[in-house]
């Protein structure tokens, strides 16, 4: 295998997968790098080998179609592979990857980042208790292993995901103790016009909702989880009405799925110099990028939820647009698809994203004794004290208190810390950018990053004379 490619694509979800297919069709040498065992991204995550057969779902079918197309193509698909650094090397890109516990370097003329999204969870006291998992995290368990987060689960969060997760728990034989959503029926009524364009998705949501009502599962609209109780694992979940601040019911449960929307994963783009701006309607900080993936950085392209949360349908279409654009830029003939279909799909996705814009009353449930930085066990009061003593940026809080230097690399604390700095300093959230990302983009064992070498081969300069 030659290690130079025309295009290296990071992420094999709907966006990266379709970009790879389109680019490969034009005759380019494409490598598709993805950290999961199978292509499909989070939304179309493949089943683990432990599942021999299972009823088909729309997500399985969409994922299988993409995986089949990739298998049939000339794409060099490297699964289970982590990209931990990308650098400019003359007129090409150099990527450091970790594959089968081996560190490798590959080069490419152009890079497409299709890094997708991660979950935002508004911290609440007790959210670090074992048994609390992300709402999107729960879907990973369902899709990959068809397994449940627990025997009796409270499902809480925003947007349509909360109903999907509850419905999947019931489909897989689990019990939903309650659904607790900060959204109100009025929030949903406002999103309805955009949903009417996708009657199939609307109908599917209708079935989930009707089933939950028939089963007598309590649905608490305009409520949020105010505290998670349990020492070694979750034992109960307290709720609160957001508008009235009144305490809601307490549910006994052994697990809680909690999530408040998705955040674009922009670290790699940011590290490579793509300018970013803040757009709450797209999930927060997003890179500057055209609909066909072009960025201000030469030979670097972006597509999918990593440049704004517009959903899987839009991500796939943008992947196709971007793959074709890169092919044309590299001198190949490729169709120039219309951006109309992408715009339509994006409209729907954005309406769903809008349901997850954090409400001030939800934010207020994060109290001073709530842990914000899970890695370093830093409470809100710790971060506030740091801000009060002069740390007015996420970088300053990071260097002062290590919030963002732990193993997760700030992925689960930076958004809430930025919001807290904005609140404490009276600045708009758009004035508090995320901290400067640095390699490694993912944790890498030092021994593996260094690769095989003999100490004798290391060039050691002579010490300077005293």
Partner 1 sequence: MIRLVPNQSDQIERSGLVTFSFEGKPVQGHAGEMLVSALLRAGYLNLRHAPMDKAPRGAFCCMGLCQECAVRIQGQTVEACRTEVAENLIVERI
The whole-angstrom distance between residue 248's C-alpha and the CA centroid of its chain comes to 30
Burial of 440 (0-12, 13-18, 19+ CB in 10 A): middle
| Among the listed residues 92, 171, 344, 384, the single contact to partner 1 using CB under 8 A | 171
The yes or no reply on residue 377 touching partner 1 (CB under 8 A) is yes
The yes or no reply on residue 203 touching partner 1 (CB under 8 A) is no
The yes or no reply on residue 242 touching partner 1 (CB under 8 A) is no
What element of type H or E holds 133? strand 132-134
Residues 6+ apart with CB under 8 A from 117: 42, 262, 263, 264, 265, 283, 305, 306, 309
Q: How far is the CB of 123 from partner 1 (least distance, A)?
A: 12
Pick the piece of the chain touching partner 1 (CB under 8 A) from 15-23, 133-141, 331-339, 341-349.
Answer: 133-141
The yes or no reply on residue 147 touching partner 1 (CB under 8 A) is yes
Query: What mask, x for binding partner 1 by CB under 8 A, covers residues 58 to 97?
Result: ----------------------------------------
Q: DSSP of 372-410, one letter per residue?
A: EETTTTEEHHHHHHHHHTT--SHHHHHHHH-TT-STTTT
Q: Quick one: 338 or 377, whose CB is closer to partner 1? A: 377
Closest CA to 255 of 169, 367, 356, 374: 169
CA atoms lying within 13 Å on the CB side of residue 349: 23
DSSP reduced 3-state for 169: helix
| Among the listed residues 64, 94, 107, 145, the single contact to partner 1 using CB under 8 A | 145
Q: Quick one: 175 or 290, whose CB is closer to partner 1? A: 175
- Which pair of structure tokens corresponds to residue 262? 């998705």
The yes or no reply on residue 146 touching partner 1 (CB under 8 A) is yes
Q: Quick one: 350 or 401, whose CB is closer to partner 1? A: 401
- Which pair of structure tokens corresponds to residue 454? 């003999």
The yes or no reply on residue 460 touching partner 1 (CB under 8 A) is no
Q: How far is the CB of 55 from partner 1 (least distance, A)?
A: 5
The yes or no reply on residue 140 touching partner 1 (CB under 8 A) is yes
Q: How far is the CB of 22 from partner 1 (least distance, A)?
A: 26
Restricted to residues 331-370, the positions that interact with partner 1 (CB under 8 A) are none
| Among the listed residues 61, 190, 233, 298, the single contact to partner 1 using CB under 8 A | 233
Q: Phi, psi (5° rounding) for residue 455?
A: -55, -35
The yes or no reply on residue 449 touching partner 1 (CB under 8 A) is no
CB of 374 closer than 8 Å to CB of 408? yes
Residue 433 per-residue DSSP state = P
Q: Distance between CA atoms of 288 and 296, rounded to whole angstroms?
A: 8
DSSP reduced 3-state for 221: strand
Q: Distance between CA atoms of 299 and 159, rounded to whole angstroms?
A: 35
Pick the piece of the chain touching partner 1 (CB under 8 A) from 152-160, 228-236, 271-279, 450-458.
Answer: 228-236
Strands 255-259 and 132-134: parallel
| Bridge partners of residue 250, in order along the sequence | 238
Q: Quick one: 52 or 464, whose CB is closer to partner 1? A: 52
The yes or no reply on residue 376 touching partner 1 (CB under 8 A) is yes
The whole-angstrom distance between residue 77's C-alpha and the CA centroid of its chain comes to 21
Q: Phi, psi (5° rounding) for residue 27?
A: 100, 5
Count of positions on this chain that bind partner 1 (CB under 8 A)? 60
Pick the piece of the chain touching partner 1 (CB under 8 A) from 193-201, 204-212, 350-358, 451-459.
Answer: 204-212
The yes or no reply on residue 405 touching partner 1 (CB under 8 A) is no
Burial of 262 (0-12, 13-18, 19+ CB in 10 A): buried
Q: Quick one: 184 or 448, whose CB is closer to partner 1? A: 448
The yes or no reply on residue 119 touching partner 1 (CB under 8 A) is yes
Q: Which residues bind partner 1 (CB under 8 A)?
A: 35-36, 42, 48-55, 101, 118-119, 128-134, 136-138, 140-141, 144-150, 167, 170-173, 207-208, 210-211, 214-215, 231-234, 374-377, 406-408, 411-412, 442-443, 445
């Amino acid at each position: 295998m030659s290690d130079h490619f025309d295009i290296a694509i990071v992420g094999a979800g709907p966006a990266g997968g379709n970009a790879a297919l389109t680019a490969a069709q034009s005759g380019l040498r494409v490598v598709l790098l993805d950290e999961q065992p199978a292509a499909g991204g989070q939304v179309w995550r493949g089943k683990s080998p432990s599942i021999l057969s299972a009823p088909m779902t729309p997500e399985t079918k969409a994922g299988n179609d993409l995986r089949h197309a990739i298998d049939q193509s000339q794409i060099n698909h490297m699964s289970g592979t982590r990209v931990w650094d990308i650098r400019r090397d003359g007129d090409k890109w150099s990527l450091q990857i970790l594959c089968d516990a081996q560190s490798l370097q590959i080069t490419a003329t152009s890079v497409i980042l299709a890094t997708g999204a991660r979950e935002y969870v508004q911290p609440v006291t007790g959210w670090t208790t074992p048994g609390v998992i992300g709402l999107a995290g729960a879907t990973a368990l369902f899709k990959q292993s068809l397994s449940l987060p627990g025997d009796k689960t409270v499902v809480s969060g925003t947007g349509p995901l909360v109903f999907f997760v509850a419905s999947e728990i019931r489909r897989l034989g689990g019990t939903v103790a309650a659904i607790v959503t900060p959204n109100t029926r009025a929030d949903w009524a406002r999103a309805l016009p955009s949903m009417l364009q996708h009657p199939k998705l609307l109908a599917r949501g209708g079935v989930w909702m009707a089933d939950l009502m028939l089963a007598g599962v309590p649905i608490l609209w305009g409520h949020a989880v105010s505290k998670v109780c349990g020492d070694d694992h979750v034992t109960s979940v307290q709720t609160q009405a957001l508008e009235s601040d009144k305490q809601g019911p307490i549910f006994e449960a052994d697990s809680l799925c909690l999530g408040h929307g998705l955040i674009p994963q922009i670290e790699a783009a940011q590290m490579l110099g793509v300018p970013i701006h803040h757009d709450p309607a797209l999930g927060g900080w997003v890179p500057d990028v055209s609909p066909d993936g072009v960025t201000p950085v030469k030979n670097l392209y972006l597509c999918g939820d990593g440049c704004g949360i517009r959903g899987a349908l839009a991500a796939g279409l943008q992947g196709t647009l971007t793959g074709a654009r890169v092919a044309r830029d590299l001198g190949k003939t490729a169709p120039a698809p219309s951006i109309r279909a992408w715009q339509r799909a994006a409209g729907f996705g954005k309406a769903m994203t809008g349901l997850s814009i954090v409400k001030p009353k939800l934010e207020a449930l994060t109290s001073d004794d709530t842990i914000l930085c899970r890695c370093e066990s830093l409470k809100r009061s710790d971060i506030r004290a740091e801000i009060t003593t002069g740390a007015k940026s996420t970088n300053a809080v990071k260097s002062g208190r290590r919030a963002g230097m732990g193993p997760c690399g700030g992925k689960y604390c930076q958004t809430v810390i930025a919001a807290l700095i904005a609140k404490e300093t009276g600045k708009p959230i758009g004035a508090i950018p995320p901290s400067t990302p640095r390699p490694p983009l993912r944790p890498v064992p030092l021994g593996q990053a260094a690769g095989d070498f003999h100490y004798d081969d290391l060039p050691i300069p002579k010490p300077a004379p005293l």
